[in-house]
């Protein structure tokens, strides 16, 4: 072999070696990446043709939220949502061109049957030539709570979250406006794409999950956090705090006013909570200082992510506050921002003797043979306050319902506590109306947060007590009936 041919042979060998190495590397380390590449339509076709497992509710009947049915087209299996609009914020959608959201996304490998936990099952299916099936997901959702929340919200732009304070289980989660995931899951790809584009362009943002993935100024509902910090600092419900008609914000020429008569220029913390006195809680925040207030907020879950099943957003309490910013933050304004999920967590922790449980949405993952693959165990996030102070704050919240701004949440025969809130985010838009609450009866508990983003009534009539409290009442009754 002459020298030029030998050189060509060596180059060819090197190229074949590199090609073999690249192929081996792709097979061993890039399989998932290549399968998930949106340009890989073969992998997408194969995935879309799988017999996905069902998503069901947590009631005795295991109400179906999402299921797969056989159809006569190239994909063979159609993903359907029997009551799609009611549960869209939970299930999300499973789409050919627009991927997945909600539980369809966070439990995709289990539902598709490709998860490592289903390896033995896949092996048996391959040997027996049986069509592979995905695992089913059993959620914590109670249909009666979900239905009550949707009906009470009645199409208003906003959200409702209901939690079991003792476990953290999500009993209901509704966001409005909503959408029908069946339209985006259609096998008519052009029709599904058109439906998605229309929903995505809608100014009402029906694809947004306002309950868990959006954060808003919580307004006076945040006064629960300030009150908790005050009790933990050694103050009592009957401790007096200055409550002038107007409070000059430190370092500014701006006055903070009250939305109602606080009942005097020196009132108890309990009275301040009853009537939602802005100046009293602003003074309380200034007295406590930003470090104690921030630490208390973080104990309740602020600045952390929870409910990863839905990709929930972290609520925020700001850093490096000056005096004016601290005063406003103490009443849930300035840059304080929270999701309805977060405010339900605050109330749930107070109702649970100060212990915050991590919210969760899935109870059990079951294989096609109905055997449990994984089961969730309730998990403590930590103690937000002492049991004694939590009980004091619970009684203060009961006073808000019996003697204060939350009277519309009262339920005969139930112990109900709550806190109203009206939050201003922009002078050009209507405020947010909030109500966060708990109810107890016969040893059972529920915590509910309601947020109405916009309401078609005059600005001066907007309040959490008028708009949001009746919604919370209906949901609490459904949860504890």
Q: CA distances (Å), 215 to each of 335, 340, 343, 438, 445, in order?
A: 11, 8, 10, 21, 25
211: nearest Cα among 80, 83, 306: 306
Contact 469, 437 (CB under 8 A): yes
95: annotated active-site residue: no
Structure tokens, 451? 């947020």
Residue with tokens 């890039």: 30
Tell me how far apart the alpha carbons of residues 476 and 161 are, in angstroms, rounded to a whole number. 11
> Among 136, 208, 220, 329, which one carries the catalytic annotation?
220
Count of C-beta atoms within a 10 Å radius of residue 381: 18
Token duo for residue 91: 């299930």
Cβ-contact 123, 41 below 8 angstroms: no
Token pair 């009470």: residue: 152
List of residues 6+ apart from 133 with CB closer than 8 A: 51, 53, 113, 125, 368
Q: Is 259 exposed, middle or buried (0-12, 13-18, 19+ CB in 10 A)?
A: middle
HSE value, Cβ hemisphere, 13 Å, CA-based, for 83: 14
User: Residues with catalytic annotation?
Assistant: 220
């Amino acid at each position: 072999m002459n020298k030029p041919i030998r050189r060509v042979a060596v180059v060819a060998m090197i190229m074949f070696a590199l090609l073999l190495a690249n192929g081996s590397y792709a097979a061993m380390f890039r399989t998932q990446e290549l399968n998930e590449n949106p340009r890989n339509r073969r992998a997408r076709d194969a995935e879309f043709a799988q017999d996905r497992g069902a998503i069901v509710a947590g009631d005795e009947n295991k109400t179906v939220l999402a299921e797969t049915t056989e159809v006569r087209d190239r994909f063979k299996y159609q993903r359907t949502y029997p009551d799609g609009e009611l549960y869209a914020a939970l299930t999300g959608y499973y789409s050919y061109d627009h991927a997945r959201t909600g539980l369809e996304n966070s439990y995709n490998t289990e539902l598709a049957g490709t998860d490592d936990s289903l390896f033995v099952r896949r092996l048996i299916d391959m040997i027996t030539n049986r069509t592979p099936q995905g695992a089913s997901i059993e959620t914590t959702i109670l249909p009666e709570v979900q239905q009550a929340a949707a009906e009470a919200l009645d199409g208003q732009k906003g959200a409702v979250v209901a939690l079991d304070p003792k476990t953290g289980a999500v009993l209901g989660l509704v966001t409005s406006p909503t959408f029908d995931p069946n339209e985006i899951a259609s096998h008519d790809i052009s029709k599904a794409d058109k439906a998605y584009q229309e929903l995505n362009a809608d100014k009402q943002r029906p694809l947004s999950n306002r309950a868990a993935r959006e954060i808003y100024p919580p307004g006076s509902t945040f006064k629960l956090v300030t009150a908790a910090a005050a009790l933990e600092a050694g103050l009592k419900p009957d401790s007096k705090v200055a409550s002038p008609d107007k409070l000059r914000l430190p370092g500014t020429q701006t006055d903070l006013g009250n939305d109602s008569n606080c009942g005097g220029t020196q009132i108890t913390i309990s009275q301040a909570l009853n009537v939602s006195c802005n100046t009293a809680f602003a003074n309380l925040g200034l007295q406590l200082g930003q470090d104690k207030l921030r630490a208390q907020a973080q104990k309740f879950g602020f600045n952390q992510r929870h409910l990863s099943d839905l990709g929930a957003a972290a609520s925020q309490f700001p850093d490096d506050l000056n005096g004016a910013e601290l005063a406003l933050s103490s009443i849930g304004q300035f840059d304080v921002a929270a999701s309805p999920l977060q405010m339900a967590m605050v109330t749930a922790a107070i109702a649970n003797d100060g212990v915050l449980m991590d919210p969760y949405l899935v109870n059990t993952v079951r294989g096609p043979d109905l055997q449990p693959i994984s089961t969730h165990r309730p998990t403590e996030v930590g103690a937000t306050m002492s049991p004694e102070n939590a009980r004091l704050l619970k009684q203060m919240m009961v006073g808000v319902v019996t003697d204060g701004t939350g009277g519309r949440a009262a339920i005969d025969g139930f112990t109900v506590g709550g806190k109203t809130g009206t939050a201003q985010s922009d002078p050009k838009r209507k405020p947010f109306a909030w109500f966060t609450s708990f109810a107890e009866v016969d040893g059972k508990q529920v915590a509910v947060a309601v947020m109405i983003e916009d309401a078609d009534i005059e600005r001066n009539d907007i309040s959490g007590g008028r708009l949001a409290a009746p919604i919370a009442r209906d949901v609490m009754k459904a949860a504890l009936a």
